Amino acid sequence: MTLCCLLLFTQPPIFHEDFESGSLAAWGDNRGNLRIVEEGAYKGKRCLEVTANPGKGAGGHIVRWFLPGYDEVWVRWAVKFAPDFDQGNHMHLCALAGNRVDDKWSAFGKAGKKPTGTDFFVTNLEPWRDWGRNEPPGVLMLYSYWPDMQRSRDGMYWGNNLLSNPPLMVPRGKWTVWTLWMKLNEPGKANGEQAFWMDGKPGGRWKGMRFRDTLDLRLNSLSLDLYIHDSKQVNRVWFDEVEIGVGTPTLMGVNRQAAADAMQSTG
């Protein structure tokens, strides 16, 4: 087991974006207000700025697909929220999704819908204001769609909030590094898992999940996203050092043994 974990930990990422080339050519479905800027980067000279102007459904996104996909993937990015960032009640940030291997769009446009087990699953890692109880941007959580999700009070199936515990509060005006890890179930078993960290601190780990009933669904897209449902002001975030890896994550700033301990202790 130790040897297996060491091998997984030394596997390099399958994708790395530092925005230093000044181009978004490595990304697909480039939409909204995106700009590579040359100030305040997390590393190097450049980072990606995403702006939500006042209005509904404001923001922008880019998607990196990696079809057909994998059964265990970690994604990591550095993110900074503007010092005056305030999304109001609702927003979405980045998402790791499972699309059908024969349809790279099958996880998109599914807001409010319950997955069937053969069409999609998706987990966003994002902050939550909890109707003003948390200072913006809020507490870090997973926002997940999977076949066993709970129905919302309005009868729709909005993503379920899986909150960090103890709460990880997302700062403004400061870079933090977020990691999201998902391991898919075997079809017919509920043995999938997902977990997240901020700056190496564990936010939570959920086991016993059924994300799919077919091998035609795999982890195969990462969306870098800023979506604000009703933006009352100009809201900006910056992204840098985006990585996608297969297997179990190493945690930036945390040694391998600490990462292994965190994986064991956050259940």
Minimum CB distance to Ca ion smaller for 44 or for 173: 44
Minimum CB distance to Ca ion smaller for 18 or for 243: 18
Minimum CB distance to Ca ion smaller for 40 or for 44: 44
Nearest to Ca ion by Cβ — which residue?
44
Q: What are phi and psi for residue 230, nearest 5 degrees?
A: -150, 90
Residues β-bridged to residue 58: 228
Retrieve residue 124's tokens: 């966003």
Minimum CB distance to Ca ion smaller for 43 or for 207: 43
Minimum CB distance to Ca ion smaller for 19 or for 197: 19
Minimum CB distance to Ca ion smaller for 72 or for 243: 243
The piece of 95-103, 152-160, 237-245, 247-255 that touches Ca ion (CB under 5 A) is 237-245
Q: What are phi and psi for residue 237, nearest 5 degrees?
A: -130, 155
Q: CB–CB of 190/206 below 8 Å? A: no
DSSP SS3 for 260? helix
Residue 55 binds Ca ion (CB under 5 A)? no
Residue 78 binds Ca ion (CB under 5 A)? no
Residues 1-40, interacting with Ca ion (CB under 5 A): 18-19
Angle (nearest 5°) at CA 190 between 185 and 192: 40
- Residue 30's CB is within 10 A of a number of other CB atoms, namely 12
Residues 192-211, interacting with Ca ion (CB under 5 A): none
CA distance 107 to 120: 5
Residues β-bridged to residue 16: 243
Residue 57 binds Ca ion (CB under 5 A)? no
Candidates 49, 72, 216, 240: give the one binding Ca ion (CB under 5 A). Answer: 240
CA torsion sign, 216 to 3 to 265 to 203?
A: negative
Q: How many binding residues for Ca ion (CB under 5 A)?
A: 7
CA distance 235 to 89: 13
In whole angstroms, how close is the CB of 175 to Ca ion at the nearest point? 11
Residue 44 binds Ca ion (CB under 5 A)? yes
The piece of 63-71, 135-143, 166-174, 233-241 that touches Ca ion (CB under 5 A) is 233-241
Minimum CB distance to Ca ion smaller for 5 or for 36: 36
Candidates 34, 41, 251, 254: give the one binding Ca ion (CB under 5 A). Answer: 41
The residue among 45, 123, 49 whose CA lies nearest residue 79 is 49
Residue 49 binds Ca ion (CB under 5 A)? no
In order, the DSSP letters of 2-36 are: HHHHHHHHTPPPSEEE-STTS--TT-EEEEESEEE
In whole angstroms, how close is the CB of 178 to Ca ion at the nearest point? 16
* Chain residues in the site for Ca ion (CB under 5 A): 18-19, 41, 43-44, 46, 240
